[in-house]
Amino acid sequence: MKHLVFKKQKEYDAFNDRFFDENSIDFEREDLMSKEDILIRDAALFVNEAYVDNEFKTLSDFAREACVSEGSTFKSCLGRLKEMIKRNILEVKTK
C-alpha cells in the first residue's frame, strides 16, 4: 500500500499564520491566496485524512475516493494531486 507524505510544513505554518490567525490583516482572505497556497492547503487536508484514508494502491484510487468527499471531479482531483507531486508539495511513499 502507498500513502501521501506532506513536504511543505514550514510553508503551511506561514500560510495558516497569514490567513487563519484572527489578528492577521489577511484573515480569511481567500482572494489573496496564490495557487501554491491553495495546493499546500489542500495537500495538508489530503494527508491528514480530511476526505479519505491516506492509504491506497494507486493515486487514481485515492483520487476516485477523495473527489466524492471533497465535492470535485475525479479529473480535477487527480490533476491537483499530480500538480502537488510535481511541485514537491506531496510525495507518494510505499508503506
By C-alpha distance, which of 62, 52, 49 is closest to 6? 49
- Give tens-digit pLDDT for 38-92: 999 999 999 998 889 999 999 999 999 999 988 999 999 999 999 999 999 999 9
For 80, other C-beta atoms within 10 Å of its C-beta total: 22
**Given this model, what pLDDT does residue 11 score?**
95
Contact present, 2 and 95 (Cβ < 8 Å): yes
Give CA separation, 65 vs 14, 33, 72, 77, 87, in Å: 29, 26, 10, 10, 22
Q: Which residues 6+ apart lie within 8 Å of 82 measured at CB?
A: 59
